[in-house]
Amino acid sequence: MQIPKFKFLDDRIAIHESLPVGVMLAMAGGFLDAYTYLFHGEVFASMQSGNVILLGLNLAQGNFGYIVRYVVPIGMFLLGIFFTDVLKFRFEHKRLVWQNIAVAIEGIGIFCVGLFSDFGHNLLINSALSFFAAIQFATYRRLAGLPYATTMTTGNLRSIADYTYQHFFKKDPTASFKIKYTATIIFAFCLGAILSTLSAAFFGGKAIWLVSLLLFGVLGITIYHQK
C-alpha cells in the first residue's frame, strides 16, 4: 500500500478535495461565525448547535423576544442545505461543475450582504449568512477523501482524536497524513476567526468582503485546475 504524504497541493487529489481549497474554505467558515457573533447580535452563521443552545438559554430565562433572533437563522441554514441538494441534483451530471456554481453563489451573495452590513438589520444579515454558510457546508464535505467540515470544527476535532488513536494503537500508516490534513483545517478555521476580529476593527461591516475574496479564490483555483 502506498502511504500518502502531506502535500499542500497534491495533483492526485481532486481539486475540490485539495488542501488549498479546504484551507480557504475553513478560513471563510471561521470568519463568518466570528463576524456574526461579534458584530451582529451574538448569533452564529453556521454553528447551529450554538444557536440552539442560545435559543434554549433565552427561553429558560424568559427572553421570548429573542426567539426570532435564533430560529430564523436556523431555518435559513436548513433552507440552504435544501437549496444545495436541489442544485446538485440539477447540475451534477451537466457540463457545468455544480460545486463551482455553489461557491460562486455564496461568494456573490456574501458580497451583496457586505453592501448593507453596516446599517442592515442583524436578523436579515445573520439569516442571509446562515443560508450561504449552509451552501458551503453541504458542498464541501471531503478533504483528500476524508470527511470534514469547513464551517464548524467539532467533527474535525473528533477526527483528530480518532486518527491519533489509529496512529498509536492500530499503527495505521495513513493516520499521520490524516492528522496533518485535519489539523491544518482546524488551524485555518481559527485563523479565519482571528482575521474576522482584526479586519472588522479597520473595515467595519465591509470586512465580510474578505470572505468573498477567499471564495472567489476557491473558484479561481478550481476552474484553473479543471482546464
Q: What is the pLDDT of residues 109-131, one digit of tens each?
A: 999 999 998 888 999 999 999 99
Give the global pTM: 0.92
Is the pLDDT score of 95 beyond 80?
no
DSSP 15-26: GGGSHHHHHHHH
Q: For the domain covering 29-225, report its CATH number.
A: 1.20.1250
| Per-residue pLDDT, 6 | 52
Q: What is the pLDDT of residues 161-209, one digit of tens each?
A: 999 999 999 999 999 989 999 999 999 999 999 999 999 889 989 999 9
Q: Phi first, then psi: what are they for 23, rounded to 5°?
A: -65, -45
| Per-residue pLDDT, 93 | 78
Q: How confident is the model at residue 28 (pLDDT cuts 50, 70, 90)?
A: very high
Domain map (residue ranges) of the chain: 29-225
CA separation for the pair 98, 156 (Å, rounded): 25
| Per-residue pLDDT, 13 | 79
CA separation for the pair 200, 223 (Å, rounded): 30
DSSP 64-76: GGGHHHHHHHHHH
CA separation for the pair 96, 145 (Å, rounded): 22
CA separation for the pair 79, 221 (Å, rounded): 28
CA separation for the pair 55, 32 (Å, rounded): 19
